[in-house]
Amino acid sequence: MSWWKWVVVSWVGSCVVLLMAIYIMNWWHQHLIGRHGGQMSDFKQYKRSAIAEMAEWTPGFDMTNVSVSEADYENGSPKHGDMIARNPENHSDRWLVAAAYFAANFEALGNDRPL
Count of other CB atoms within 10 angstroms of residue 106: 14
Q: What is the pLDDT of residue 2?
A: 76
Q: Is 10 helix (H, G, I), strand (E, B) or coil?
A: helix
Contact (Cβ atoms closer than 8 angstroms) between residue 83 and residue 58: no
The per-residue b/e assignment along 2-33, b for 16 or more CB within 10 angstroms, e otherwise, is: eeeeeeeeeeeeeeeeeeeeeeeeeeeeeeee
Nearest to 43 by CA among 51, 34, 52: 34
Q: Mind listing the pLDDT tens digit of every residue in the chain (115 residues)? A: 676 667 666 766 676 666 666 666 665 666 665 555 556 678 888 888 888 999 999 999 999 999 999 999 999 999 999 999 999 999 999 999 999 999 999 988 877 667 6
Q: What is the pLDDT of residue 35?
A: 54
Q: Is 22 helix (H, G, I), strand (E, B) or coil?
A: helix
